[in-house]
Structure formats: structure tokens, C-alpha cells
Structure 1
Amino acid sequence: MRTTIGYTVESIGYVIGAQGLVSFVSQTFFGTEWGWLHKLVDRPSAAYLGVVVVGLALVLGGVKTRKAPPRQEFA
């Protein structure tokens, strides 16, 4: 079960982080809106860096959950 949760959290983190990065780059360097995150929230460019950090935290949490040693079950 932990492996499934780890992969799921990690996958969600990749999507959130990528969308935050795409939104930041598109607003900062091109002055346009890319991705779908801007359809949910309209934030300044710097706020999207926070979204990238949240995505990275989810990825790291998922990896840590996946690599955690198995628990010992008592009979």
C-alpha cells in the first residue's frame, strides 16, 4: 500500500511542479499564460515558484514513502 501511495503522491507532485514552472516561465519571459493552472488561480509570477516548491515537496514525500523500510508485522 505504501508503494502505491508513494507513486501517487510523487506523480501528483510532478504535475503540480511542472504546471507551476510552466506558469512562472510563461508569465516571466513571454507575458502569456501557458498550462492549465492559470485557469484555476490567477497569481503573480513569483507565487508560481511557491507552487513549484509544493510540487517538489510532494515528489520528495512520495519518494521517501516509497523507500521507507517495510514495517514488521507481529503475529
Structure 2
Amino acid sequence: MRGFLGVVVVIQGLGGFVARVFFDTEWGLLRRWFDIPTPVYLAIAAAGVALLIWSDQDREKG
């Protein structure tokens, strides 16, 4: 479950960042709920990557 959530978070973070920087538009669900500065989208993507790594490490242990 964490792996799937990690993928969704990475997509939302990278999609939001790329849309603002390269296309000067808004993209994703987060923009509907929050007014997020552009650099925070990269932090969101990094949190998604951390979830993916955590999920993979748990899978290797168990």
C-alpha cells in the first residue's frame, strides 16, 4: 500500500512542479485544496520517493 501511495505522491509532486515551471499552469489535485509554492512540489515528490524506498525495504525484510 505504501508503494502505491508513494507513486501517487511522486506523480502529484513532479506533475505540479513541471506544470508550474515549464507550462505556467496548474496541475493535480493538491492545487484544488492548497495554495502550494513551487519548490514545495519538489519536497512532496521527495516524500513520495521516501515512501517508495521505505516500502521496498520492508518488502526485502519480510
**If the length of structure 1 is used for normalisation, what is the TM-score?**
0.77
Structure index of larger Rg: 1
What is the RMSD of the two structures over their aligned residues, measured on CA atoms? Answer: 0.9
Give aligned-pair identity as a percent.
35
**TM-score (structure 2 length as normaliser):** 0.92
Q: CA deviation at 1:58?
A: 0.3
Distance apart, 1:32 and its partner CA: 0.6
Corresponding residue for residue 14 of structure 2: 21
Deviating beyond 4 angstroms after TM superposition, the runs of 4 or more aligned structure 1 residues are none
Structure 1 SS opposite 2:28? coil
Structure 1 residues not aligned, in runs of 5+: 1-7, 71-75
Counting helix residues as a fraction of each chain, which structure ranks higher?
2
Match of 1:53 in 2: 46
Aligned-pair CA distance for 1:40: 2.2
**What CA distance in whole angstroms lies between the structure 1 residues aligned with 2:52 and 2:34?**
22
Shift of 1:49: 0.3
Residue among 36, 42, 45 paired with 1:43: 36
In the comparison of the two structures, how many residue pairs are matched?
62
5+ long unaligned stretches in structure 2: none
In the TM superposition, what whole-angstrom CA distance separates every residue of 1:2-57 from its partner, at most 9, and x where no partner exists? xxxxxx00110000011000000001111111121211221111110000000000
1:64 aligns with 2:57: yes
- Report whether the alignment pairs 1:12 with 2:5: yes
